[in-house]
Amino acid sequence: MRTVRSLTSALAALAVSAASAVTLTLTSAPPAAALENGLARTPQMGFNNWNATHCGADFNEDMVKGIADLFVSSGLKDAGYQYVNLDDCWAEKDRDANGDYVPNHTRFPNGIKTLADYVHSKGLKFGLYTSAGTLTCAQTMPGSLGHEQQDAKLWASWGVDYLKYDNCNNQGVDAVKRYTAMRDALAATGRPILFSMCEWGENKPWTWAKDVGNSWRTTGDISDSYSSMLSIVHQNMALASYAGPGHWNDPDMLEVGNGGMTDIEYRSHFSLWSVMAAPLLIGSDLRKASAATMKILTNREVIAVDQDPLGVQGAPIGTDGGRDVFVKPLKNGDRAVALFNESDAPQRIGTSATAVGLPAAPGYTVRDLWAHTTRETAGTLAATVPAHGTVLLRVSADRRWALHPPAVDVGVGLPVAYPGALPIVQPGTPVTVTTTATNAGRLPALAVRSGLTAPDGWTVRAASRRSTPALGTDRSFSTSWTVTPPQDAAVGAYDLTARTTYAGASAESTVQATVLKLTTPPSGTTYLSDLPWVRASNGWGPVEKDTSNGEKAAGDGHPITINGAVYKKGLGAHAPSTIEYYAAKQCTSVAADVGVDDEKTTNGSVTFEIWADGTKVADSGLLTTADPAAHLSADVGGASFVRLIVTDGGNGNDSDHADWADARITCT
């Protein structure tokens, strides 16, 4: 029975529709009590073309068939990937005389049904996309608002098994109403169709959509950068309690293999999505995938964490100093434990078997799901994790722990100016490097011997003992090394790898030493945009000098403008961002006018911070598109390095164009 309230809102929606040519069906099927479509008992796995192609010419029948073929030939299907899904731009702009979607003639000359049949012939499932609006986001094809029943029927007749339902051009119609209407239309077809809601977390779908969709996007769109991936992790990790079999949080599709992150970062991306029980939708063109990409995507031990039938989304039990420990309880009582290092330098991250929820026991078995090794521990779970890296462990209170070698963790340390600082070395200048092996095992590690390797042309000399006969539980053994880069070492990052061997096993870890020629800033006051930075990272596109951030290529910004005030000098950043300068302990202050650039009028909200080495010395508080520029200045006396940091203000980094207008440093 329709309530007065819903009738009123339907009429209000009709009024909207009169202006925008939407016709809402007032006689839709009665809402189902719950989704109960039996699908996505574990998070869905498959492919979607969007991240690889957007609406480019590569998105066509050949591609989709090629992906389906590869699913079978390269073992992806066997690894659990099932859905082959089309995103935006699969249809013509206009509906046909019956009001039905028309497949895009150029991309899909043989229609969608033929393609779905092809995908089905491979034992796979087929998915489509549209928007709960009048047009899709790319605006090249119609949306389904007001056409839910007719469209669902058409897709079911084509054999569609999956619908991604976007949020663009929604005419302000209530989200619950729009998504519920499509849920009911899909249910009315009688065909099981997985319903993937994509309203970007705008209406907190985790609080209402459990009975509406099989999954819901929790954030804005991912992009192929570490900072985008990280910002999504921060948003999605807080929502663990809302996910479960049949209804998952969706932190967006995978970027693994698209080229904007390193393989270490892609392994973090894949590990964290798995620990967070996220849908695993491959977003790269597998026809061009490297061996490394395939290895990540087909790691069955990691996939098993994502697909664990208990269906619990893992959550952080600790986040501190860029060190995150995520725990996901698994059906057989094991725990998946992700040790994620968000920061730009290697860090040792540790927890314990009892802290991750395992019962007290004399020993535990630890499986490293990327190294594919098995070790025993007396309880400590620790690893030195590379910058942006994740060590993913599966830990069990298994009585056969003593069959495995003890878990030894190796760290390698270089002198740094503050915790998390870049380990910088100068050509021809010796530095002391320390390697440390720590035994977490219940059993002693025997015949322990450490080594350190550096690139050709570097000299490495042990300055203390390299071996010890035995290392007991939770005991460490350190060796000092004198390492000298060659006089002519070029600027860049160089691997130093520590490797410890012991009876039955070995362990290693790598740190990157950065060769940089540091230049002392001139005395007096200088615009920071006229100085070389030590490093810079940005949420979208590169940091711009003397313009705002244009989000994509270098040089695509505009004059820096905050609430009407235009600045000739400054830095154009996009949250989350860090820009670091060498101050050589010779500078006294940093100042800037900070704010969100006028080129964004909604959503942008950020905080600006100035750091002197490891200490925050200024903080703007939250600034949004509505605020005028705030003047920020800080005493940076004695600092070796100064960092300008922009955070996303806690609401994701959509539209966070952050200007450091007139940013300048004063040195003696």
Listed in sequence order, the residues at least 6 apart from 633 whose beta carbon sits closer than 8 Å to its beta carbon are 589, 590, 591, 592, 618
C-beta of 137 vs 663, nearer to ligand GLA: 137
- How long a stretch of residues is the chain? 668
Q: Is residue 654 within the footprint of ligand GLA (CB under 6 A)?
A: no
Smallest distance from the beta carbon of 275 to ligand GLA, in angstroms? 22
User: Interaction with ligand GLA in 510-539: which residues (CB under 6 A)?
Assistant: none
Cα 345 to Cα 342: distance, rounded to the nearest angstrom: 9
Smallest distance from the beta carbon of 138 to ligand GLA, in angstroms? 4
**Cα–Cα–Cα angle for 535, 225, 170, rounded to 5 degrees:** 135
CB 609 within 8 A of CB 618: yes
Smallest distance from the beta carbon of 597 to ligand GLA, in angstroms? 22
Structure tokens at 579: 């820009």
Question: Among 24, 71, 85, 87, which residue interacts with ligand GLA (rule: CB under 6 A)?
Answer: 87
Cα 450 to Cα 498: distance, rounded to the nearest angstrom: 7
C-beta of 50 vs 179, nearer to ligand GLA: 50
C-beta of 53 vs 605, nearer to ligand GLA: 53
Catalytic residue, chosen from 87, 151, 161, 166, is: 166
Smallest distance from the beta carbon of 51 to ligand GLA, in angstroms? 8
C-beta of 55 vs 115, nearer to ligand GLA: 55
CB 20 within 8 A of CB 142: no
C-beta of 136 vs 647, nearer to ligand GLA: 136
What is the DSSP code (8-state) at residue 140? Answer: S
Instruction: For 424-451, give the DSSP string.
Output: EE-TT--EEEEEEEEE-SSSPEEEEEEE
Closest-CA residue to 348 (of 316, 370, 317, 320): 320
Question: Among 138, 188, 371, 446, which residue interacts with ligand GLA (rule: CB under 6 A)?
Answer: 138
Smallest distance from the beta carbon of 173 to ligand GLA, in angstroms? 17
Strands (E), 444-523: 445-453, 459-462, 467-471, 475-484, 492-502, 505-515
Quick check: helix, strand or coil at residue 489?
coil
Cα 117 to Cα 105: distance, rounded to the nearest angstrom: 18
C-beta of 107 vs 335, nearer to ligand GLA: 107
Smallest distance from the beta carbon of 186 to ligand GLA, in angstroms? 18
Q: Which residue has the tokens 């940093």?
A: 590
Smallest distance from the beta carbon of 277 to ligand GLA, in angstroms? 19
Cα 404 to Cα 414: distance, rounded to the nearest angstrom: 32
Q: Which range, of 130-138, 176-184, 318-326, 395-403, touches ligand GLA by CB under 6 A?
A: 130-138
C-beta of 137 vs 665, nearer to ligand GLA: 137
Q: Is 530 assigned a catalytic role?
A: no
CB 228 within 8 A of CB 575: no
Q: Is residue 255 within the footprint of ligand GLA (CB under 6 A)?
A: no
Query: CA torsion angle for 315, 411, 539, 283 (degrees, to 10)?
Result: -70
Smallest distance from the beta carbon of 367 to ligand GLA, in angstroms? 34
C-beta of 220 vs 379, nearer to ligand GLA: 220
Q: Which residue has the tokens 């903080």?
A: 619
Question: Among 88, 92, 376, 409, which residue interacts with ligand GLA (rule: CB under 6 A)?
Answer: 88
Q: Is 263 assigned a catalytic role?
A: no
Cα 632 to Cα 620: distance, rounded to the nearest angstrom: 7
Q: Which residue has the tokens 């006229």?
A: 530
Q: Which residue type is seen at 50?
A: W
Q: What's the distance, Cα to Cα, between the start and end of the chain in Å?
A: 77
C-beta of 217 vs 657, nearer to ligand GLA: 217
C-beta of 88 vs 285, nearer to ligand GLA: 88
Q: Which residue has the tokens 């230049």?
A: 519
Quick check: helix, strand or coil at residue 149?
helix
Q: Which range, of 131-139, 143-151, 291-299, 498-506, touches ligand GLA by CB under 6 A?
A: 131-139
User: Interaction with ligand GLA in 144-173: which residues (CB under 6 A)?
Assistant: 166
Q: Which residues pair with 657 in a beta bridge?
A: 574
- 259 to 292, 293, 401, 632: CA distances (angstroms): 11, 10, 39, 37
CB 571 within 8 A of CB 640: no
Question: Among 163, 198, 395, 496, which residue interacts with ligand GLA (rule: CB under 6 A)?
Answer: 198
Closest-CA residue to 339 (of 327, 329, 357, 354): 327
Q: Which range, of 111-119, 133-141, 170-178, 537-545, touches ligand GLA by CB under 6 A?
A: 133-141
Cis peptide bond upstream of 576, omega within 30: yes
C-beta of 55 vs 592, nearer to ligand GLA: 55
Identify the H or E element spanning 231: helix 226-236
Q: Is residue 221 within the footprint of ligand GLA (CB under 6 A)?
A: yes
Q: Is residue 603 within the footprint of ligand GLA (CB under 6 A)?
A: no
Q: Which range, of 132-140, 257-265, 448-456, 479-487, touches ligand GLA by CB under 6 A?
A: 132-140
What is the DSSP code (8-state) at residue 310? Answer: T
Residue nearest ligand GLA by beta-carbon distance = 137
Structure tokens at 66: 């090629």
Catalytic residue, chosen from 221, 546, 627, 635, is: 221
Q: How many helices (H) and strands (E) does the chain have?
A: 11, 38
C-beta of 221 vs 619, nearer to ligand GLA: 221
Smallest distance from the beta carbon of 259 to ligand GLA, in angstroms? 19
The interface mask with ligand GLA, positions 44-63, x = CB under 6 A, is ------x-------------
Smallest distance from the beta carbon of 201 to ligand GLA, in angstroms? 11
Q: Which residue type is seen at 385?
A: V
CB 276 within 8 A of CB 249: yes
Q: Is residue 136 within the footprint of ligand GLA (CB under 6 A)?
A: yes
Smallest distance from the beta carbon of 213 to ligand GLA, in angstroms? 14
CB 297 within 8 A of CB 285: no
- 263 to 52, 267, 389, 496: CA distances (angstroms): 17, 6, 9, 18
CB 402 within 8 A of CB 441: no
Smallest distance from the beta carbon of 139 to ligand GLA, in angstroms? 8
Q: Tell me how many residues contact ligand GLA (CB under 6 A).
A: 9
Q: Is residue 137 within the footprint of ligand GLA (CB under 6 A)?
A: yes
Q: Which stretches of the chain bind ligand GLA, using CB under 6 A?
A: 50, 87-88, 136-138, 166, 198, 221
Just list the catalytic residues. 166, 221
